[in-house]
Structure 1
Amino acid sequence: MLMRTDPFRELDRLTQQLSGASSPGTWSRPNPMPMDAYRAGDEYVVVFDLPGVPQEAIELDVERNVLSVKAERRPLTVAEGVEMQVAERPLGVFSRQLFLGDTLDTERITAEYESGVLTVKIPVAAQAKPRKISISGGDSEPRQINA
């Protein structure tokens, strides 16, 4: 199971959007990054949107069942004599943290980055998967039930 770490992050993001405030994120106060999360069979898939962020500017860590994603989008380098006319894309540091339940296998997490999308796959731990248990006793033959 995945759990969000900051219940007020969405409220902060919405407030920023409504007020038109678009300050660059810093390492001490990063901007949120949009994500989707879903379960596909025996793994959870978390997808983060990071357009314009080079792969080497992304940090992905797991510590004590907390998955942390940090990324930094730097301003474009414009040639001398070129004047920027519109600059609406958010810059700076983006961050997201997810609590991972004990039923997930944090040792086998994989990540892939393609076309500005970071896809993280977190398998369900073997001990958390359903299994069959034999029942013995009495005069009947052993049978199995789903646990």
Structure 2
Amino acid sequence: MARRNDPFQDIERLFSSTGFARPTGPGMPMDLIRTGDEYVAELDLPGVDPSTIDIDIDDRTLTIRAERKARQGEVEWLSKERPTGTFARQLTMGYGVAVDKINATYDGGVLTLTFPVADEAKPRKISVNTSSSESKTIDAN
């Protein structure tokens, strides 16, 4: 039986087997799902100016940086719980992701990254020829 390629599964397995919580930077929690032929990551970045969001990919490492600026001027803080400053998060992409086709949108304080599944990681049919010149299709799943 062929194994479905999940480029994030090894990282998730590592953290769950060691008992450690998943790494999250302050102010950048993430949900990650797979829907059909794409992975979708949603990162909460409320109060972040979209012009400060920087997304880079180097080899198979995706780095997301964003900045939430502190309130300017003289104020008396009664409570300060929201972190400010520059936040960064890195994701290691597996070979099942088409890194050249990643899409990013920012709406309502949520950064959404869409990672299409690479063509070579998608299930496909393989035709098998026999000596009687008949062909039979085998599902590669």
Aligned twin of 1:124: 117
Cα offset for 1:140? 6.1
Instruction: State the Cα distance separating 1:114 from its structure 2 match.
Output: 0.4
Per-residue Cα deviation, 1:57-97 (whole angstroms, up to 9, x for no partner):
1111111111111111111224x5x5333222111121111
Match in the other structure for 2:91:
98
1:84 is matched with 77
Which residue of 1 is the match for residue 64 of structure 2? Answer: 69
| Other-structure match for 2:37 | 42
Q: Percent identity?
A: 42
TM-score normalised by L of structure 1? 0.76
C-alpha contact 2:104 2:113 (8 A) present in aligned 1:
yes
Q: Unpaired segments of 5 or more residues in structure 1?
A: 14-29
Which ranges in structure 2 are unaligned for 5 or more consecutive residues? 1-6
Which residue does the alignment assign to 2:102?
Answer: 109
Q: TM-score, normalised by structure 2?
A: 0.79
SS in 1 for 2:120: helix
**C-alpha distance in 2, partners of 1:146/1:131?**
7
Contact persistence 2:104–2:111 (CA under 8 A): yes
Q: 1:105 to 1:72 in 2, by over 3 A?
A: same
Question: Is the CA contact (8 Å cut-off) linking 1:66 and 1:98 kept in structure 2?
Answer: yes
Q: Between Structure 1 and Structure 2, whose CA radius of gyration is higher?
A: 1
Number of positions where the alignment pairs a residue of Structure 1 with one of Structure 2? 129
Q: Which consecutive segments of 4 or more residues in structure 1 shift more than 3 A?
A: 3-13
